[in-house]
Structure 1
Amino acid sequence: MKRKQCGTFMPPKKFQVKKNHHHVWARYLQEWSADGKDVWHTTLKGKISLHSIRDICREDYFYKSNFLTSDHMKMIEGFSKLGDDDAQAMHAKYLSDFVFIQQLEKLYRNHSVSDAQVERMFETFRCNTIENYHGAHEREAAPIVSQLLEGDFTPLHNDKDLIMFLNFLGHQLTRTKTFKDRVLEAVPKTGLGGLDQDRFKTVLEECWFFISYMYGMNIGRNLYFGRQRTIFCILENSEDEPFITSDSPVINLCNTEDRKNLPDVDQLDLYYPLSPERAIVACRSGAFPPGITKVSKETVEDVNLTMAQHARAHIIGSEEEVIKRYHREIDGIS
Structure 2
Amino acid sequence: MSRKELEAKKRHHFVWAKYLARWGSGTKNVFYTTKTGKFAHDSVRAIAADDYFYKTTTLTSKHVEVIKGLSRLSPDHLHQQHMSYLKDFLMMQQAEAVYRKSGIRNQEAELHIHAMKCNLLENLHASHEEMALPVLEALADEQIDVLQDKQHMIEFMMFFGHQISRTKTFRDSAIQAQPRGNAIENDVADAMAHAWWFLSYMFGMSIGFGLYADRHNARHTLLINNTKVPFITSDQPVVNVHSCVSETKFDAPKHSYLYYPISPRVAYIICDSERFTPGKNEIDESTAVELNAKLAAQAMVHIIGDTEHAIRPFKEYIGRRYQKATDIHLKD
Bin of the TM-score, shorter chain as denominator length? over 0.9
Runs of 4 or more, structure 1, over 3 Å off, are 258-264
Pairs within 5 Å for 1:104-123: 104-123=95-114
TM-superposed deviation, 1:66: 0.3
Identify if the C-alpha distance between structure 1 residues 151 and 251 changes in structure 2 by more than 3 Å, giving closer, same or farther.
same
Q: What letter is aligned with 2:61?
A: S
Are 2:123 and 1:132 aligned?
yes
Q: Which residue of 1 aligns with 2:330?
A: none
2: CA distance, partners of 1:111 / 1:227? 51
Pairs within 5 Å for 1:228-267: 228-254=216-242, 255-257=244-246, 261=250, 263=252, 267=255
2:24 pairs with one of 22, 29, 33: 33
TM-superposed deviation, 1:22: 0.2
CA contact (8 A) 1:173 1:249 kept: yes
2: CA distance, partners of 1:258 / 1:222? 25
Pairs within 5 Å for 1:141-152: 141-152=132-143
TM-superposed deviation, 1:196: 4.2
Pairs within 5 Å for 1:1-334: 12-191=3-182, 195-197=184-186, 199-254=187-242, 255-257=244-246, 261=250, 263=252, 267-331=255-319
Q: What letter is aligned with 1:210?
A: F
CA contact (8 A) 1:253 1:268 kept: yes
CA contact (8 A) 2:31 2:306 kept: yes
CA contact (8 A) 1:182 1:260 kept: no
TM-superposed deviation, 1:67: 0.3
TM-superposed deviation, 1:189: 3.3
CA contact (8 A) 2:241 2:295 kept: no
Of all paired residues, the percent bearing the same amino acid is 37
TM-superposed deviation, 1:272: 0.3
2: CA distance, partners of 1:253 / 1:329? 14
Q: Which residue of 1 aligns with 2:328?
A: none
Identify if the C-alpha distance between structure 1 residues 113 and 260 changes in structure 2 by more than 3 Å, giving closer, same or farther.
farther
2: CA distance, partners of 1:318 / 1:256? 27
Q: What letter is aligned with 1:216?
A: G
**What SS is found at the alignment partner of 1:195?**
helix
Identify if the C-alpha distance between structure 1 residues 262 and 55 changes in structure 2 by more than 3 Å, giving closer, same or farther.
farther
Q: What letter is aligned with 1:322?
A: A
Q: Which residue of 2 aligns with 1:5?
A: none
CA contact (8 A) 1:238 1:300 kept: no
- TM-score (ref. length: structure 1): 0.92
**What SS is found at the alignment partner of 2:260?**
strand
CA contact (8 A) 2:175 2:193 kept: yes
Aligned-residue Cα RMSD (Å) equals 1.8
Q: What letter is aligned with 2:96?
A: E
TM-superposed deviation, 1:106: 1.0
Identify if the C-alpha distance between structure 1 residues 77 and 258 changes in structure 2 by more than 3 Å, giving closer, same or farther.
farther
TM-superposed deviation, 1:268: 2.8
CA contact (8 A) 1:183 1:260 kept: no
Tell me the number of residue pairs that the alignment of Structure 1 and Structure 2 aligns.
321
Q: What letter is aligned with 2:226?
A: S
**What SS is found at the alignment partner of 2:190?**
helix
